[in-house]
Amino acid sequence: MRVLEEIKLVNISKGVRILFVHFLLSFPLLLQAQFGGRYLYKFVNLPSSARIAALGGNLITVMDDDVNLAFANPALLNPEMHQQIAFNHSFHFESISHGFAGFGHYDESLETTFYGGVKYINYGEFQQTDEFFQQLGTFKAKELAATIGAGRMVNERISLGANLKYLTSRLEAYNSNALALDLGATYLDTASNFTFSVVLKNMGVILSSYTGVENSDEELPFEIQIGLSKKLRYLPFRFSIIYHNAQQWNLLYDDPNAEQGTIFIGDGGTTGDASPFVQNLFRHFIFNGEFLIGARENFRMRFGYNNFLRQDLTVPDFGSLAGFSFGVGIKVNRFRIDFGHLVYHIAGGVTHLSVSTNLKEFR
């Protein structure tokens, strides 16, 4: 957690380099030698719903009535989300509480879908001690992101959207506030059931820092994501491929004690038999799939694989399912209930539960 790193005066940032981001991005972007531990408010990148958790922790390319997806990509906002309300909660380690609630509304006069949402995380209670380890009491740590967003189809195939987020964090007597902006664009081809999205996340400014120092080096977790989805014509199945952290090529952690492993399901070492180029390339990818069963797709089975989590969190010489995820969803009467489980480590994973409904159905 970046807050603790600030208090301990830990600085792990290194020099920057320039490269051209492949795929659609052709302009030079800054690179960091190390990826983790540099940013505030990383909780905004946690899965907002059980469905997203079951699909590898990210989904930016599916346009349906799921209002939870608007937090990941505001360009997915559409009229099917009108009056849709969702509540989500995840059960983290050590009683950490994390969740998201969202509501969508379509305005016919503006031909625009709006939504509001709140994402929160409570890290629990900590013991407060002095430099001699004498207990002085306890303190709490929590963060929150209040979000409003809007999205609309600008023509038959292209949708654009934006989220504005107010971020706040408190750790004991330390506070921070920030404003962040998400911009998304989605290309939708309904004839071939193909979707392509680009999202720029968490662009913004720190309004007040934990240290109280102006122009501090605290940063928001800016990220560029690119993804595509394809629903098969003769099989009730949709797959998605997401390329995350496109703004930074090097996602490797240079651990001199790491043992060699393979690219996907190896021993979990941060160095591998493959070249650094191949290792970096596959760390950017998330693969997932969703079976849509029934005439109204009321029963869904999901799975995902996040190679970045796999390579960074697998313990060498110990087998685990780190980076893998799975889940199911079912609609019962007016309610859709979803379950998702994302494995982070040999110690276990995080379970997510979601309940959503459409208020129109009660009228």
Q: Is residue 343 assigned to a domain?
A: no
Q: Is residue 100 assigned to a domain?
A: yes
Cα distance between residue 203 and residue 295, in whole Å: 40
Cα distance between residue 55 and residue 244, in whole Å: 14
Q: Is residue 176 assigned to a domain?
A: yes
Residue 257: the pLDDT is 58
Total-model pTM: 0.84
Cα distance between residue 282 and residue 285, in whole Å: 5
What CATH code is carried by the domain that includes residue 119? 2.40.160
Residue 55's domain comprises: 2-331
End-to-end Cα spacing for the chain: 45
Which residues on adjacent β-strands are paired with residue 335?
332, 357
Amino acid letter, residue 212? G
For 237-265, the DSSP string reads EEEEEEE--TT-S------TTPPEE-SSS
C-alpha dist (Å) from residue 199 to 64, 159, 187, 230, 283: 17, 12, 12, 18, 18
Task: Give residue-wise pLDDT tens across range 28-86.
Answer: 333 344 555 678 899 999 999 999 999 999 999 999 999 999 999 999 999 999 999 99
Q: In the structure encoding, which two tokens stand for residue 277, read together? A: 């180029």
Residue 9: the pLDDT is 33
Beta pairing class for 97-107 and 260-261: unpaired
Residue 20: the pLDDT is 30
Cα distance between residue 186 and residue 114, in whole Å: 16
Q: Is residue 45 assigned to a domain?
A: yes
Count: domains in the chain: 1
**Residue spans of the chain under pLDDT 50:** 1-33, 261-263, 265-272
Q: Which of 325, 346, 247 is nearest to 51 (CA)?
A: 325
Residue 114: the pLDDT is 98
Q: Is residue 108 assigned to a domain?
A: yes
Q: Is residue 307 assigned to a domain?
A: yes
Residues in the chain: 363
Q: How many other C-beta atoms are found inside a 10 Å radius of the C-beta of residue 93?
A: 12
Residue 213: the pLDDT is 67
214-250 b/e with 16+ CB inside 10 Å = b?
eeeebbbbbbbbbbbbbbeeeebebebebbbbbbbbb
* Token pair 């190896």 in the structure block, residue: 266
Q: Taking a C-beta distance cutoff of 8 angstroms, is the pair 199, 183 a contact?
A: yes
Which residues on adjacent β-strands are paired with residue 357?
85, 335
Q: Is residue 362 assigned to a domain?
A: no
Q: Is residue 351 assigned to a domain?
A: no
